[in-house]
């Protein structure tokens, strides 16, 4: 089915069911459906073309959900813009995807004007929460569509090849690659979520506290496909999340492991009632087994984990709450370090560099096959071909499978750091740091961190006769790349170890920080 059909099948039957709650704002499924029709009509009145890219740039706000449904109803393509990125990175991505529309929150009004000046393809700007000079508010924009009839562009199969979005995967030495996600892949993800996340006998309530323009958005819409009420918080706050769980009787939520760790460390973590929770999903990076066990003790038998990436979204594998709870109680405790078994429409293998599938217990690259796998990189056929050799999608992650089919991630084949649930490629950070004249060499790695899971760390070698101001290095990286990608710490070494080929020996560098942990991800 089309993405919008998963929403409409609930709204058509239960229009009075509450769909979104944010502070004093409450919107039913029927109201949300009508608003999305008005947005799509206004886009049609302005002459939107089929599959035109539309960027969303906003903190968490109910208007993001309205705009998403509206653009999908207009047969447009979602181009997420990460507010945590530096401006130049967002401008580069929008130029790469040739975004024609921008729905933005007034928080980013200044950036919106800069984007209008630097992205030639950008023709239509709408401010979600208020009028902003020459750019209309969402209410004013919707009025433009009064009297416009929406075309019925659906086919009998649900437009399976149409794009839902062009989602950034994280860059290496330039703009992020955009992954083309179709209705087939997105619909498969929603069907998996329906199978594993639905619980009988409850009124589902999903809490959105992670960015809606990142993984929280897909999680919310997956839960709404089975009638959940979405409670929107402006951002993550450990105490606020715990209060919201109790106040709204939250049943479903997603957080990256770093947010879980902040909650576990909060002095009031045991002061609230979490008995409503059924699925507390951790995704984005591997979870500390000790902290996962403690989470079961605090939040109950609701903890779950999944593994995925934009190229095979969110639920490539599934570690169910009952499995986590049993492992925490001592039944196969090693499974606390697993990301679960392959989800039902997906085949997962472990492969060596020659394309051979490996037996249980042997480590190799995790490869995936099935309708969940995303279509291709946007206008990058060679990059697509590189990850689709031997008839499988190659994840770039190294793992092993045990005799019971559970997958364990042990390393990353790609030189990538996952910090706070976000992908950071070391080459991009290294390129930015080496712009500084006082540096001779640089190697960026991820190191274990109790809060971030992994923290970006830069190992530097000063140029001859130069000294390194570590604070200035970090400030430069923040200004060039944004706070997520900037190193959290810097060390100056006399030399960086090299491989026989003369390349920085990242394995040797990581060993100084990861020795004895049993794996090179956290």
CATH number for position 60: 3.40.50.980
In a domain, 162, yes or no: no
| Average pLDDT of the chain to the nearest whole number | 92
Using CA atoms in the order 11, 15, 16, 19, what is the torsion angle rounded to 10 degrees? Answer: 20
Q: Which CATH number do you get for residue 254?
A: 3.40.50.12780
In this predicted structure, the answer to whether residue 285 has a pLDDT above a threshold of 90 is no
Predicted pLDDT at 61 = 94
For the stretch 27-70, pLDDT in tens is 999 999 999 999 999 999 999 999 999 999 999 999 999 999 99
Using CA atoms in the order 14, 153, 141, 51, what is the torsion angle rounded to 10 degrees? Answer: 120
Predicted pLDDT at 250 = 98
Percent over 90 (pLDDT), the chain: 74
Q: Which two tokens stand for residue 174?
A: 């330039």
In a domain, 72, yes or no: yes
Predicted pLDDT at 431 = 80
Count of domains forming the chain: 3
Check if the beta carbon of residue 283 is closer than 8 Å to that of residue 256.
yes
Do 452 and 355 sit in the same domain of this protein?
no
In this predicted structure, the answer to whether residue 153 has a pLDDT above a threshold of 50 is yes
Mean pLDDT over 192-209 rounds to 96
Do 243 and 387 sit in the same domain of this protein?
yes
Domain boundary at 151, 178, 199, which?
A: 151
In this predicted structure, the answer to whether residue 346 has a pLDDT above a threshold of 90 is yes
Domain boundary at 365, 389, 412, which?
A: 412
In a domain, 220, yes or no: no
For the stretch 247-259, pLDDT in tens is 999 999 999 887 8
Predicted pLDDT at 171 = 46
The CA distances from residue 415 to 191, 257, 435, 470, 521, in Å, are 32, 21, 20, 23, 12
DSSP of 184-195: HHHHHHHHHHHH
**Dist CA 378 CA 99 (whole Å):** 13
**Dist CA 250 CA 206 (whole Å):** 6
In this predicted structure, the answer to whether residue 174 has a pLDDT above a threshold of 60 is no
In 370-517, at which residue ranges do the beta strands (DSSP E only) sit? 376-377, 393-401, 407-412, 416-419, 422-425, 439-449, 453-462, 489-492
In this predicted structure, the answer to whether residue 172 has a pLDDT above a threshold of 80 is no
**Which of 188, 219, 157 lies closest to 375 in space, CA to CA?**
188
Predicted pLDDT at 261 = 86
User: Residue 370: which domain range?
Assistant: 236-412
For the stretch 481-491, pLDDT in tens is 998 999 999 99
Do 458 and 383 sit in the same domain of this protein?
no
Do 441 and 386 sit in the same domain of this protein?
no
Mean pLDDT over 86-106 rounds to 94
Do 383 and 453 sit in the same domain of this protein?
no
In a domain, 134, yes or no: yes
Do 60 and 92 sit in the same domain of this protein?
yes
Do 271 and 124 sit in the same domain of this protein?
no
Do 323 and 463 sit in the same domain of this protein?
no
Query: 404: exposed, middle or buried (C-beta count within 10 Å: 0-12, 13-18, 19+)?
Result: exposed
What is the side-by-side strand order in the sheet with 124-127? 124-127, 101-104, 53-57, 77-80, 163-168, 178-182, 376-377
Predicted pLDDT at 500 = 56
DSSP of 123-182: -EEEESSS-BTTBPBHHHHHHTTTTPPPP----TT--TTSEEEEEE---SSSSPPEEEEE
In a domain, 485, yes or no: yes
The CA distances from residue 473 to 294, 416, 462, in Å, are 37, 20, 12
Do 407 and 314 sit in the same domain of this protein?
yes
In a domain, 164, yes or no: no
Predicted pLDDT at 14 = 97
Check if the beta carbon of residue 313 is closer than 8 Å to that of residue 218.
yes
Do 324 and 445 sit in the same domain of this protein?
no
Do 374 and 447 sit in the same domain of this protein?
no
Do 433 and 451 sit in the same domain of this protein?
yes
Domain boundary at 114, 135, 151, which?
A: 151
In a domain, 275, yes or no: yes
Q: Which CATH number do you get for residue 433?
A: 3.30.300.30
């Amino acid at each position: 089915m089309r993405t919008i059909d998963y929403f409409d099948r609930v709204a058509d039957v239960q229009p009075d069911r509450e769909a979104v709650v944010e502070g004093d704002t409450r919107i039913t499924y029927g109201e949300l459906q009508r608003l999305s029709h008005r947005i799509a009509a206004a886009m049609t009145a302005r002459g939107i073309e089929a599959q035109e890219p539309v960027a969303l740039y906003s903190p968490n706000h109910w208007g993001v959900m309205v705009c998403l449904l509206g653009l999908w109803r207009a047969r447009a393509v979602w181009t997420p813009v990460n507010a945590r990125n530096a401006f130049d990175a967002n401008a580069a991505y929008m130029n790469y995807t040739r975004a024609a529309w921008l729905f933005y929150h007034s928080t980013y009004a200044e950036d919106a004007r800069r984007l209008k000046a630097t992205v030639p393809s950008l023709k239509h700007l709408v401010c979600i929460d208020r009028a902003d000079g020459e750019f209309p508010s969402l209410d004013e924009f919707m009025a433009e569509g009064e009297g416009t009839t929406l075309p019925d562009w659906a086919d009998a199969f649900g437009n399976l090849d149409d794009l839902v979005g062009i989602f950034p995967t994280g860059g290496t030495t330039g703009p992020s690659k955009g992954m083309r996600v179709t209705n087939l892949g997105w619909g498969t993800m929603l069907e998996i979520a329906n199978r594993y996340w639905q619980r009988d006998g409850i009124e589902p309530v999903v809490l959105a506290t992670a960015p809606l323009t990142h993984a929280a958005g897909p999680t919310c819409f997956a839960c709404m496909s089975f009638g959940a009420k979405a409670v929107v918080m402006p951002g993550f706050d450990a105490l606020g999340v715990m209060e919201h769980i109790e106040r709204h009787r939250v049943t479903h939520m997603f957080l990256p492991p770093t947010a879980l760790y902040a909650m576990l460390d909060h002095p009031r973590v045991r002061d609230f009632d979490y008995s409503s929770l059924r699925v507390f999903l951790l995704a984005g990076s591997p979870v500390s087994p000790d902290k996962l066990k403690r989470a079961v003790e605090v939040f109950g038998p609701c903890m779950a984990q999944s593994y995925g990436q934009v190229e095979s979204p969110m639920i490539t594998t599934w570690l169910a709450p009952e499995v986590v709870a049993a492992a925490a109680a001592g039944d196969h405790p090693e499974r606390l370090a697993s990301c679960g078994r392959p989800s039902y429409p997906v085949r997962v293998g472990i492969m060596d560099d020659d394309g051979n599938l490996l037996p249980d217990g042997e480590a190799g690259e995790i490869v995936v096959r099935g309708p969940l796998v995303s279509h291709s990189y946007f206008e990058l056929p060679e990059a697509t071909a590189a990850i689709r050799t031997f008839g499988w999608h190659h994840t770039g992650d190294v793992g092993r499978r045990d005799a019971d089919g559970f997958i364990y991630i042990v390393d990353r084949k790609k030189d990538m750091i996952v910090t706070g649930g976000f992908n950071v490629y070391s080459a991009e950070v290294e390129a930015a740091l080496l712009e500084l004249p006082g540096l001779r060499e640089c190697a960026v790695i991820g190191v274990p961190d109790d809060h971030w899971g992994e923290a970006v760390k830069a190992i530097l070698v000063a140029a001859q006769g130069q000294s390194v101001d570590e604070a200035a290095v970090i400030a430069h990286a923040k200004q060039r790349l944004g706070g997520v990608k900037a190193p959290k710490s810097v060390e100056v070494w006399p030399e960086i170890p090299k491989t026989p080929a003369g390349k920085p020996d990242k394995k040797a560098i990581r060993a100084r920080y990861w020795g004895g942990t049993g794996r090179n991800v956290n």
